[in-house]
Chains A and B, each alone.
Chain A
Amino acid sequence: MKRGFVGRLEEIRENLSRLFAGRIRVRSLPSRWAKVASLTPVRRDTINVERLDNRQNTPVMRSLAAEWRHIHPRRMNLALAGSVKIRSAPLEVHPPLTKGSLSFGISPTIKNATERMKFLPQVRGNRVRYLKERPFVEGSGLIALFSPIIKDALLREVLERERGVLFIWYDVSSDAALPYMLALFRRLDVSQGDIFSWRWLPGA
């Protein structure tokens, strides 16, 4: 019981602290308060505050908090209405006590990877199906056409056979700009050996 109530107070303190997001300081109860607050409630039925003297009042009022969940609100209101004088007082509003500045919003971290990006290859897909007129090479059949490629800036090319795409790496310091098409032919007159050949064709 004792631990449960103190634990509950700590939970309320934690919730208030989060709610005000650092604008006000919410302190834990000093240990002596926690001790008083955890006194065993003196009664569980309707409370007649009129009968209580100052000495009795303190533990009873504090036990109210402990019994909060057990007292029906209407019963408590009735008990208080008949016995406690309620006075009004002007509400003083103080600005929140803040240390430093509160910042809202999400700040992204932006990275610059331009130089590394230059090492990634470009990819060219096979465009053979879009050709209206296929280039003719005697004894060969066109099986792939990759375009556009800046031939004079090309450092390296790799054909990925599974997907039929061509990876190309450019010399980024090159000024070359003339585009070409790179065609892959299959020789029809041989069945083994070097049956594929590459040819550069003028850009489309």
Chain B
Amino acid sequence: MNPQKGLALGYLRLIEERNLFQGAALVTDLRGIPLDFRYTEPISPTRLERILYGDALHVYIREEVILENLLKAVEVKPSLWICNDRELLKFLKEHVACPSIFLESTSYSPLDAVGEMAPQPESGAYLVQADPISAPLKLIVPVDTGEDAVKSVVSILIEAAASMEILEPFARIKRALEAVAAGEMTE
């Protein structure tokens, strides 16, 4: 069914508002069509839990409660996990078999050619031109990711960018969670 050699992209988005935590995972084919979408109900730690876990609560909820359970629940395993929170990279590197990256938009002028990578001062960060008519993307890979692995990731991004808008699913996840919260979207 998937016309692009079975490649799929996984998107992870965590949302924190005041004392509420929520997460969602969306796996799409390279046209952006959803293959799997899971989300957590909003989690609101009690005062007792805030006291018991102290400073570890934030990481515990994001990683062990939300991410770990989402990753277990997703049935369609993607070729690449993309998150928009760089703090998740370490956890993802240790818990998923496929590559995981942080990706965000920039307002830079397009680089000269598709596939061009411009290393950034930040460790593991690059500007990547994934398609000819957009701003370069900011890519961050986990620490100690080899050069070949980075190139492999970039080649997936280029292939995906030809048929979908790579960062668009993050906005779709947000709209979906808003629809869920408003009671407009239930299974």
Chain A: residues with CB nearer than 8 A to chain B? 104-118, 120, 122-125, 127, 130-132, 145, 147-148, 150, 153, 170, 172-173, 175-177, 179, 203-204
Contacts and interface: CB of A to CB of B under 8 A. Distances in A.
A125 B134 CA distance: 10
A130 B133 contact: yes
Interface of B: 1, 3-4, 23, 26, 30-41, 43, 45, 49, 52, 60-61, 65-66, 69-70, 73, 110, 131-135, 161-165, 168, 171-172, 175-176, 179-180, 185-187
Contacts of A106: 43, 45, 49, 60-61, 65
A122 B165 contact: yes
B175 A112 contact: no
A31 to B, nearest CB: 31
Contact of A114 (B23, B35, B164, B180): B35
Contact of A117 (B26, B43, B164): B26
B171 to A, nearest CB: 6
A117 B176 contact: yes
A115 B36 CA distance: 8
A172 B32 CA distance: 10
Contacts of B38: 110-114
A173 B3 CA distance: 11
Contacts, number: 119
A21 to B, nearest CB: 9
A122 B172 contact: yes
Of listed B26, B35, B65, B131, residue having the most chain A CB within 10 A: B131
Given A108-B65, A177-B4, A148 B37 contact: no
Contact of B133 (A117, A120, A131): A131
Nearest to A121: B172
A122 to B, nearest CB: 5
Contacts of B36: 112, 114
